[in-house]
């Protein structure tokens, strides 16, 4: 396979017209861990809506992405706040994931030029090592290196870099299963490499449905206060 074919195959597995999922984020702190549960609706690359279900302190918090704008709603303050620019790189609820990590859904083929660096065996499975360099400006991670499982065609682990080559974040995925004809991971691990002593954040997909019909009204600002 060529580098281009590999990232097209990764996009085909990870992206869809729509996604509806229930997930939990486990934030591992130095002393204890927190689990935050949410329901997510995603349509194309421009629309996403998240409602937090648990714990009680976070329940009812909502997040809406429309185009390049992002709003959050907090039931405690009953306020809608817009998040933009560099704030999108901030941590979500103290986790190792940024708003951009959660909401960046554009296909890799639109964003990066890829080259194959070699092959590596991990856990008795063959992986392509792929180096990606941004072909558009403004990305959180202008360079990334991915280890792509040659059967699943998924990036089993990734290193995400600044333009300077500084390692910013590492990610991995596992629990891969067939969902509606595609291989899809049920667990992601994000580790902010700039955070000292970071123990990482797990993102676990409890259930997911691809290409369901989601009405446009789901992605309106009016939904934030409902």
For residue 179, name the pLDDT band (cuts at 50, 70, 90).
very high
Q: Is residue 41 part of a domain?
A: yes
Which pTM was predicted? 0.94
Distance separating alpha carbons of residues 70 and 89, to the nearest angstrom: 12
In this structure, is residue 180 part of a structural domain?
yes
Q: Establish if 96 belongs to a structural domain.
A: yes
**Domain carrying residue 45:** 3-210
Q: Is residue 219 part of a domain?
A: no
Q: Is the pLDDT of residue 103 over 90?
A: no
Between residues 20 and 104, which one has the greater pLDDT?
20
In a domain, 217, yes or no: no
Q: What is the mean pLDDT of residues 190-205?
A: 95
In a domain, 222, yes or no: no
pLDDT in tens, 51-98: 999 999 999 999 999 988 999 999 999 999 999 888 999 999 999 999
- At residue 67, the pLDDT reads 87
CATH code, 154:
2.50.20.10
Determine, yes or no, domain membership for 216.
Answer: no
Report residue 111 as tokens.
């964003």
Counting the structural domains of the chain, the total is: 1
Is 47 inside a domain boundary? yes
């Amino acid at each position: 396979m060529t580098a281009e074919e590999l990232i097209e195959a990764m996009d085909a597995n990870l992206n869809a017209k729509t996604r509806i999922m229930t997930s939990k984020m486990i934030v591992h702190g130095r002393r204890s861990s927190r689990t935050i549960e949410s329901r997510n609706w995603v349509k194309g690359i421009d629309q996403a809506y998240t409602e937090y279900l648990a714990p009680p302190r976070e329940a009812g918090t909502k997040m809406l992405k429309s185009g390049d704008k992002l709003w959050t709603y907090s039931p405690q303050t009953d306020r809608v706040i817009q998040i933009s620019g560099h704030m999108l790189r901030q941590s979500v609820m103290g986790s190792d994931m940024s708003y951009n990590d959660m909401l960046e859904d554009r296909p890799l083929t639109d964003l990066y030029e890829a080259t194959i660096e070699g092959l590596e065996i991990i856990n008795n499975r063959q992986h392509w090592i792929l180096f990606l360099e941004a072909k558009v400006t403004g990305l959180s991670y202008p360079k990334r290196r991915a280890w792509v499982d040659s059967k699943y065609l998924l990036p089993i682990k990734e290193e995400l870099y600044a333009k300077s080559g500084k390692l910013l974040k590492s990610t991995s995925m596992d629990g891969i299963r067939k969902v509606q004809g595609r291989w899809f991971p049920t667990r992601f691990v994000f580790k902010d490499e700039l955070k000292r002593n970071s123990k990482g954040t797990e993102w676990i997909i409890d259930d997911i449905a691809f290409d369901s019909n989601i009405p446009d009204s789901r992605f309106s600002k009016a939904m934030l206060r409902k």
